[in-house]
């Protein structure tokens, strides 16, 4: 039992990592668009908290990334998404997830799977927070699962962003963060992606009058289509 040997601060990191996983599951089951954005914002905030705790336990340079994460993922991007949603008049949009229980069970299976995948790797690691890697992988896979199961473009983007959260968690937990330059670059990338997605939303909804990505599966529009 290695949890007992950890300091209280590291235990708290574990708790927050587990919370991030839980929030991913909540995202997976969430049918309301606006609530989904809120959950995503919370995930960003918890991620920032976890980063700050890791920073407090020694890696002080991570405070900057923690602040950056809080600013970007908990405040700025959710706000932008929210604005988009308001602009497209999707506030009351509810996307019912078919077979919700099944998808959730699939998610749980993904967690077990990612643990199984990571076990051989983590033996090599010596960091106390190594088990978090399997959680991060699970968050990444769950993000992908969200994108697979959802049809709504905005939800897919949220899934994509939460994948990025998982990667960031892995980076923070496993190597105490990437070099600041890389991190700034990634943060900038995510921001740009968010802006670009916003532009895409507008175009998609203008051209097909919906954000249902299932309607994008025709490769060419026949002439006689109204």
Partner 1 sequence: MNPTLPLSLILAYVAVLAALGSAVGALATGRLPGAKGLMFLLLGASGAAAVAAGLTALASAPAGGELPLGLPWLPWHVRLDALAGFFLMVVGVVVLAVAVYGPGYVRDFEHGQDPLSVLGAFTGLFVAGMLLVVLADDAFLFMVAWELMSLSSYFLVVYQHEQAANRRAAFLYLLMAHIGALSILLGYGVLAAFGGGFAFEAMRGAALSPLWASVAFGLAFVGFGMKAGLVPMHAWLPEAHPAAPSHISALMSGVMLKVAVYGFIRFTFDLIGQIQWQWGVVVLIIGSISALMGVLYALMQHDLKRLLAYHSVENIGIIFIGLGLGLIFLATGHPVAGVLGLIAALYHTLNHALFKSLLFLGAGAILHATHERDLERMGGLLRRMPWTGFYFLIGCISISALPPFNGFVSEWLTFQTALQSWQLSGGVLRSLIPVAAAMLALTGALAAACFVKVYGVAFLGQARSRRVRRARPVTFGMRSAQGFLALLCLLAGIFPTSLLQWLNAVPEQLLGRGLSAATAHGWLWLTPVAPEMASYSAPIVLLALVLLWWLSALVLRRGRVRQVRRCDPWDCGFTDGLPTARMQYTATAFAQPIRRVFGLLFHVDEKVEREAGGMRHQLHVGDRAWELFYVPVAQRIQALSRRVTRLQRGNVRVYLGWSLGTLLVLLWLIS
Partner 2 sequence: MTANAWLLVLLQSVLFLLGAPLLVAWVRRVKARLQNRRGAAWSQPYRDLYKLFGKETLVAHTASGVFRAAPYIVFASTLLACTVVPLITVRLPSAAVADVIVLVGFLALGRFFLALAGMDVGTAFGGMGSSREMLISALAEPAMLLAVFTLAMTAHSTNLASVIDHQLASGLILRPSYLFALMGLVLVAVAETGRIPIDNPTTHLELTMIHEAMILEYSGRHLALMEWAAQLKLMLYGVLIVNVFLPWGIGTQLTLPALASGLLFVIGKLLLLGVILAVAETGLAKMRLFRAPAFLNLALLLALLGLLSNVILEAGA
What residue ranges bind partner 2 (CB under 8 A)?
1-4, 8, 11-12, 14-15, 17-19, 21-22, 25, 29, 100-101, 104, 108, 111-112, 115, 119, 122-123, 131-132, 134-135
| Contact partner at residue 116 from partner 1, partner 2, none, CB < 5 to 8 Å by partner kind | partner 1
Burial of 226 (0-12, 13-18, 19+ CB in 10 A): exposed
With contact defined as beta carbons under 8 Å apart, do 17 and 40 qualify? no
| Contact partner at residue 2 from partner 1, partner 2, none, CB < 5 to 8 Å by partner kind | partner 2
At 94, give phi and psi (nearest 5°): -125, 120
Burial of 178 (0-12, 13-18, 19+ CB in 10 A): middle
| CB nearer partner 1, residue 60 or residue 123 | 123
| CB nearer partner 1, residue 108 or residue 196 | 108
**Closest distance to partner 1 from the beta carbon of 39 (Å):** 24
Stretch in the footprint of partner 1 (CB under 8 A) among 42-50, 97-105, 146-154, 156-164: 97-105
**How many whole angstroms from its chain centre is CA 106?**
17
**Closest distance to partner 2 from the beta carbon of 161 (Å):** 21
For residue 81, CA distances in Å to 70, 147, 153, 193, 195 come to 16, 16, 11, 12, 9
**Exactly one of 83, 86, 87, 99 binds partner 1 (CB under 8 A); which one?**
99
With contact defined as beta carbons under 8 Å apart, do 13 and 173 qualify? yes
Give contact residues for partner 1 (rule: CB under 8 A): 99, 101-102, 108, 112, 115-116, 119
């Amino acid at each position: 039992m290695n949890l007992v040997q950890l300091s209280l601060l590291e235990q708290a990191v574990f708790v927050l990592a587990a919370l991030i996983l839980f929030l991913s599951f909540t995202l997976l089951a969430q049918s309301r668009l606006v609530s989904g954005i809120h959950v995503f914002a919370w995930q960003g905030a918890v991620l920032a908290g976890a980063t700050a705790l890791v920073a407090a336990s020694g890696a002080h340079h991570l405070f900057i990334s923690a602040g950056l994460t809080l600013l970007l993922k908990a405040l700025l991007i959710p706000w932008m998404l929210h604005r988009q949603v308001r602009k497209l008049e999707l506030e009351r949009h509810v996307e019912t997830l078919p077979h919700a229980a099944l998808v959730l069970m699939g998610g749980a299976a993904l967690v077990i799977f990612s643990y199984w995948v990571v076990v051989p790797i983590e033996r090599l690691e010596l960091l106390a927070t190594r088990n978090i890697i399997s959680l991060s992988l699970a968050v990444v896979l769950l993000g992908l699962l969200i994108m697979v199961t959802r049809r709504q473009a905005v939800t897919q983007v949220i899934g994509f962003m939460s994948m990025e959260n998982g990667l960031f968690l892995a980076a923070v937990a496993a190597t105490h963060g990437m070099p600041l330059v890389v991190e700034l670059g990634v943060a900038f990338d995510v921001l740009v992606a968010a802006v670009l997605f916003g532009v895409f939303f507008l175009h998609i909804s203008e051209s097909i009058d919906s954000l249902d990505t299932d309607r994008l599966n025709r490769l060419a529009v026949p002439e006689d289509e109204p």
